[in-house]
Chains A and B, each alone.
Chain A
């Protein structure tokens, strides 16, 4: 595995399976009296959040604490960042404090990649969501949840298995979704087939070259889906003419009880949260036993523990070929 987790595209199938299997083992911890391991004792992990995100931050924090890391929460609000301090100076500060890893959430796409490539800090960089780019730990926990439900037999039998041949439908605001981008990379790596369903306005230009299928018709896709993931659709998108009204959106692309009934019996309904009930998902679906939202949250802790352990638990080696100087990578059109 690389030293950083910036993009789900950086993970090979073996890397991804190692993370999922490790998380599977670590998931046992939540059933124990002492929900703690000494593995990252003496390691400092900084949660650097430039964007509010109670759930992701809490999930990482629980994972870090269960591994006995020293946790520092560095949020942009109330810190010098809000007074105009640059990402570089913040990173240099964290480096001076001896951060072994930085979990970063940033509103700018590419901020974690920038941090990982820079010489501003030497610790591992873990992307906890950057702009509209990626959210790799979310994709990992989604895959983990799918694997548990879709691979028959006990969880032990799921080890070393991918999601080969499984059909995953992702519905909603793909254009602005970092969850969708990370998922299409990871699910494809794990052998699943991804179909995006969205109004054309909410699909990025060039998506026809992504390793996925596109549909504008939710109902035709549902009967063939093993898992359907509903993405949050922000109401303010309406004002930028991405779709006419909330009502029309939910009628065409929302998941209600009737549509859920078209899913195969084994299929699950997923949502990265926070849900906008009445928009992309009805309360009936959100509260149904097929909906894995709460489980996804629990799985998030196991996945983040696995990632932290695998990046930080062992020896830290010098940068691999992933970090070659930029001069070698200048691409020009000849």
Chain B
């Protein structure tokens, strides 16, 4: 075992709680309605895994605000990732494009954390194989910076300045039992991920 101790990694601390997340989702929904002119041709596409849950919540909010059922779909970008060869092949999640398709629509991609931008790059590639939207926008719960590609979000729940040593964890009740956003040292997260959550959630490492 190690003979010398590294300085103890910092335990994760909470930056958003359930109420914060609900407020942020509501705000983004209003922004969408405002900027997309009533959101008439909007299609929401959640990026697996937590982007899907956030998209569903946004969808609910938008329904309350506009009184309409905005088309909602899911997108799995695994086959478009640029880091496929760094890990064993992963199981695929379900991609579901709403019946009306995306051609000529304003597609809003929804994800939990915007980091390097590589996930969004993959999602844009996937979109271009599925159809030709009028425009594509991006909504994220947290933007933690450190972009590696010229990509920005149109709707941001919270800008969260972080160091690369840190890991941002988004937990949503749908998969993790509770709503929260935590920031902690990546080492700590890696060491004690099982102690953190009943269902260990993947920390957002550089994609």
Q: Does A84 contact B (CB under 8 A)?
A: no
**Contact: B80 with A309, CB < 8 Å?**
no
Selected from A26, A32, A317, the residue in CB contact (under 8 A) with B92 is A26
**Does A36 reach chain B (CB closer than 8 Å)?**
yes
Encoded as 1 (CB less than 8 Å from any B CB) or 0, chain A from 302 to 334 comes to 000000011111111100000000000000000
- Contact status A32-B87, CB under 8 Å: no
Given contacts A25-B95, A28-B95, A32-B130, contact A37 B89 (CB under 8 A): no
Q: Of A28, A33, A309, A315, which one neighbours B87 at CB under 8 angstroms?
A: A315
Question: Does B76 touch A at the CB level, under 8 Å?
Answer: yes
Verify A156–B129 contact, CB threshold 8 A.
Answer: no
Residues in B neighbouring A21, C-beta threshold 8 A: 91-92
B99-121 contact mask (Cβ, 8 Å, vs A): 1 or 0: 00000000000000000000000
The answer to whether A314 and B91 have CB atoms under 8 Å apart is no
Q: How far is the CA of A37 from the CA of B125 in the complex (A)?
A: 10
Instruction: Tell yes or no: B131 within 8 A of A by CB.
Output: yes
A168 to B175, CA, bound (A): 37
A34 at interface (Cβ–Cβ under 8 A)?
A: yes
What 0/1 pattern do residues 47 to 90 of B give for CB contact below 8 A with A? 00000000000000000000000000000100110001111111
Which partner residue on chain A sits nearest B81 by CB separation?
A39
B147 at the interface (CB under 8 A from A): no
Alpha-carbon gap, A315 to B81, bound state (A): 13
The answer to whether A317 and B88 touch across the interface, beta carbons within 8 angstroms, is: yes
> When chains A and B are docked, how far (Å) is the Cα of A34 from the Cα of B79?
14
Contacts between the two chains (Cβ within 8 Å), count: 52
B23 beta carbon closer than 8 Å to chain A: no
Chain A interface size, under 10 / 10 to 19 / 20 to 34 / 35 or more:
20 to 34
Tell whether B191 is near chain A: CB-to-CB under 8 Å: no
Residues of B within 8 A of A22 (CB): 91-92
Collect the chain B residues with CB atoms within 8 Å of residue A309's CB: 79, 89
Give Cα distance in the complex from A312 to B131, angstroms.
27
Number of interface residues of B (CB under 8 A): 20
Contact partners of B91 in chain A: CB under 8 A: 18, 21-22
- Majority-rule SS of B interface residues: loop
Contact with B along A173-206 (1 / 0, CB 8 A): 0000000000000000000000000000000000
What's the Cα separation between A258 and B62 when bound, in Å? 58
* Known contacts A32-B130, A34-B129; is-contact A310 B94 (Cβ 8 Å): no
The docked-state distance in angstroms from the alpha carbon of A18 to that of B86 is: 19
Check A38/B80 contact, CB under 8 A, given A313-B89, A315-B86.
yes
Contact across chains for A314 and B88 when beta carbons are under 8 A apart: yes
Contact with B along A69-104 (1 / 0, CB 8 A): 000000000000000000000000000000000000
In the bound complex, how far is the Cα of B91 from the Cα of A230, in angstroms?
32
The 5 closest A-B pairs by CB, nearest first: A314-B89, A34-B129, A25-B92, A314-B88, A313-B89
Pick 19 A–B contacts, CB within 8 A, sort by A.
A21-B91, A21-B92, A22-B92, A25-B76, A32-B129, A32-B130, A33-B129, A33-B130, A36-B129, A37-B129, A39-B80, A39-B84, A156-B94, A310-B89, A313-B85, A314-B85, A314-B89, A315-B86, A317-B88
A-to-B contact residues, CB < 8 Å: 18, 21-22, 25-26, 28, 32-34, 36-39, 156, 309-317
Q: With A39-B84, A313-B84, A315-B87 given, can you name 18 additional A-B contacts, CB distance below 8 Å?
A: A21-B91, A22-B91, A22-B92, A25-B92, A25-B93, A25-B94, A25-B95, A34-B129, A36-B129, A37-B79, A37-B129, A38-B125, A39-B79, A156-B94, A313-B79, A313-B85, A314-B85, A317-B88
